[in-house]
Amino acid sequence: MRTCVFTLRISLVYLLLLGLGCGPAPRSERMPIPDIPGQPATSTTAPSLPQSAHIDFSGFRLSENIFRTQLNVSRLDDLYATTRDTVSNIAIISNCDLDVLKAFVANGWSPLVFVAFGKQQLWAISSYDDTSQEVHLENPISRIVRPLQYKEFERAWATGSGSKCALVTPGRLTEARVHTALAAYLPPQQATKVQVRSR
């Protein structure tokens, strides 16, 4: 009988010790889930312009009609009305600044601007370079290229077409499409201030 009681007590102590050791597993730090190859990484960086961008002459094909026929026009808004028979898709962009023009070039669109060098002249912007602080203006018919320092360009543009430019594209540009293109390079508040009139 004593042996049974003794064995029972040892069994109870053993079960008690076993029970104490079977509590919840200790908490450990969660392992971060590794990036899965092929999935795009989420980025929190702000949009920014590339340091330089260039459009080759093939980007000017649609603008050539304007440069052939609109030499007497001195306002971008007049281009909208006078090119109805020759240009299908033109957009007049308002509230531009130099960064907006650079974003258009980075997107592959060549903005057309009037600049005043004694008289108003229509030019297509083909490239910019932040290192040299230059913008390149081109005439797609004569192939003349005119490099200008940013400050010099902004002065000539301010007295030419001011804060406006024109875009000639294969398809119609809506304001939403322009804002989306600009948002890839500029802060949202800068992109959405731009206004678009297009056909």
- Of 25-29, 74-78, 102-106, the one with minimum mean pLDDT is 25-29
Residue 95 sits in a domain of what CATH number? 3.90.70
Task: Single out the residue of 153, 161, 174, 167 nearest to residue 98, CA to CA.
Answer: 153
* Containing structural domain, residue 132: 52-198
- 162 in a structural domain: yes
What pLDDT, in 10s, does the model give residues 157-199?
A: 998 888 999 999 888 999 999 999 999 999 999 999 999 999 8
- 47 in a structural domain: no
What pLDDT, in 10s, does the model give residues 139-158?
A: 888 888 999 999 999 999 99
- 12 in a structural domain: no
- 113 in a structural domain: yes
What pLDDT, in 10s, does the model give residues 105-122?
A: 999 999 999 998 878 889
Does the structure show a pLDDT above 80 at 98? yes
Is the pTM for the entire model greater than 0.85? no
Burial of residue 6 (CB within 10 Å: 0-12, 13-18, 19+) is: exposed
- 44 in a structural domain: no
Position 124 confidence tier, pLDDT thresholds 50, 70, 90: very high
- 2 in a structural domain: no
- 29 in a structural domain: no
Q: How many domains does the chain have?
A: 1
What pLDDT, in 10s, does the model give residues 19-73?
A: 545 454 444 444 343 343 444 444 456 789 999 999 876 656 778 888 887 767 8
Q: What is the DSSP string of 139-171?
A: -TTT--EEEEEHHHHHHHHHHTTTT-EEEE-SS
- 171 in a structural domain: yes
